[in-house]
Amino acid sequence: MGVGEVWRSVRPYLAMVFLQFGYAGMYVVSVVSLKQGMSHYVLVVYRNAIAAAVIGPFALWFERKGRPKMTLPIFLKIMALALLEPVLDQNFYYMGTKNTSASFSSALYNILPAVTFVNAIILRMEIIDIKKRRSQAKIFGTAVTVMGALIMILYKGPIMEFVWNRGRHHPADAAAQSDAHWLAGTFMLLFSCFCWSAFFILQSHTLKAYPAELSLSTLICVLGAGQGGAVALFMERGVKPWSIGFDMRLFTAIYSGIMCTGMAYYLQAVVMKERGPVFVTAFSPLCMIIVAFMGSTILAEEIALGRVIGAVVIVIGLYSLIWGKSADHLIQSTDNSGGKKHGALELPKSVDDAMAANSVDFVAIVDIPPAKKP
């Protein structure tokens, strides 16, 4: 095996590990900025404006010939997408993370595939055959994931000490304040997960009528920045909340817009095209581990035993759900190709193939196809 073949085989792994470090950095720097007094309403506006500025030129260039015509129903769907993700999801995520911790929010967000799976069943986008092992795995994984989330919420347990934070003093008043707001922050994070799940489901319908991923993402960012700006002007009075200098707040807005949107789109598109969505989903727990380490060292966050146990249970349920969805993906690939080898393992052959990015923010979720017509 030559050097070129080795590089092609390890490239998807390196790309996904790089992305997980990037997302972990977003969890940490956003908490730092919020603790320094930055308004999360203003952060959402700046983040989406920067993301639109980054993605917009690529959308104008690569999709200049194949962009569909904009209609009123499509525009209303995009308005709803901008409300669900940039406005509701991101604001409630920032509020929930501020009231809990970066490590807790990153661990709890692993329930997103399970939330999306349940919503897809309710909307009849997912078909369950209880006699099939893959359906049993998906149901089991969803139940275990929910159980892990309940453990994280209801049981705290003793504080765990590691080599890098042993003997570190945690102020009692800060701990009491954290306990007082922890439950409210948890419900904010859960509502954020629900909004993000609804965003993906609505987006799957919108892409059928407007199959221009980069243009759609740019429009969502622009409209999200506009809607978020209206909310920020109502919630934050005066000019002071909007004033940021060359500090951590500006870095957070730029980092989130470029790293967690622009860079993520490209790398996610290439890896998904080559290895499929299940491969991307499998790396989600790595971000949780990185955030737990960075949060305990940089932010001096306490890590409780109950939340570690809950996170482990969530990961077990997540991989059970991933296995069930991967079995669905293989069966559908075989059916669509008439038994031939599925082309998802091939490298992109055109510029349009390399633009398969479908979300304003990266999230590692499994693909939920629409139900087959009888």
pLDDT tens, 25-69?
A: 988 898 888 888 899 999 999 999 999 999 899 889 988 888 889
Spell out the residues 6+ positions from residue 57 whose beta carbon is closer than 8 angstroms to its own: none
CA distances from 134 to 137, 147, 367 (A): 5, 20, 14
- Mean pLDDT score of the chain: 79
Comparing 300 with 227, the larger pLDDT belongs to: 227
- Placement of tokens 């909310």 in the chain: 231
Residue 144 lies in a domain: yes
pLDDT in the model for residue 349: 36
With 90 as the cut, is the pLDDT of residue 91 above it? yes
Query: Quick check: is 182 in a domain?
Result: yes
Give yes or no for a contact between 102 and 31, defined as CB atoms under 8 angstroms apart: yes
> Which of 241-250, 275-284, 337-346 tops mean pLDDT?
241-250
* Within-domain flag for 199: yes
Separation in Å, CA 293 to CA 11, 121, 159, 286, 309: 25, 36, 14, 11, 16
pLDDT score of 83 more than 90: yes
What span, in angstroms and rounded, lies between the C-alpha atoms of 279 and 269? 12
Given this model, what pLDDT does residue 144 score? 92
Contact 260, 22 (CB under 8 A): yes
**109 has a pLDDT exceeding 60:** yes
Confidence of residue 177 (pLDDT cuts 50, 70, 90): very low
Neighbours of 24 (CB within 10 A): 23
Residue 125: predicted pLDDT: 77
User: Could you give the number of structural domains in the chain?
Assistant: 1
Binned at pLDDT 50, 70 and 90, residue 360 comes out as: very low
Q: What is the pLDDT of residue 374?
A: 35
Domain span including residue 248: 3-355
pTM here? 0.79
The verdict on residue 74 lying in a domain is: yes
- Band (364; pLDDT cuts 50, 70, 90): very low
Helices (H), 64-171: 72-82, 90-99, 102-108, 112-122, 133-154
d(CA 153, CA 15): 33
Residue 188 lies in a domain: yes
CB 326 within 8 A of CB 248: no
| pLDDT the model gives residue 348 | 35
Q: In this prediction, what percent of the chain has a pLDDT beyond 70?
A: 80
pLDDT for res 300: 76
C-alpha 240, offset from chain centre: 30
Q: Is 355 a residue whose pLDDT tops 70? A: no
pLDDT in tens, 180-193: 688 899 999 999 99
H-type alpha helices, the chain: 3-35, 40-62, 72-82, 90-99, 102-108, 112-122, 133-154, 172-209, 213-235, 248-257, 264-275, 277-281, 284-297, 305-337
* Distance, CA of 182 to CA of 193 (rounded, Å): 17
Residue 278 has pLDDT above 70, yes or no: no
- Please report whether residue 104 resides in a domain: yes
Residue 116 resides in a domain: yes
Buried b (16+ CB within 10 A) or exposed e, 76-102: ebbbbbbbbbbbbbbbbbbbbbbbbbb
Q: What confidence tier does 74 reach under pLDDT thresholds 50, 70, 90?
A: very high
Q: How far apart are CA 45 and CA 41, in angstroms?
A: 7
* Single-letter amino acid code for the residue at 291: V
Question: Mean per-residue pLDDT for 339-352?
Answer: 37
Determine, yes or no, domain membership for 366: no
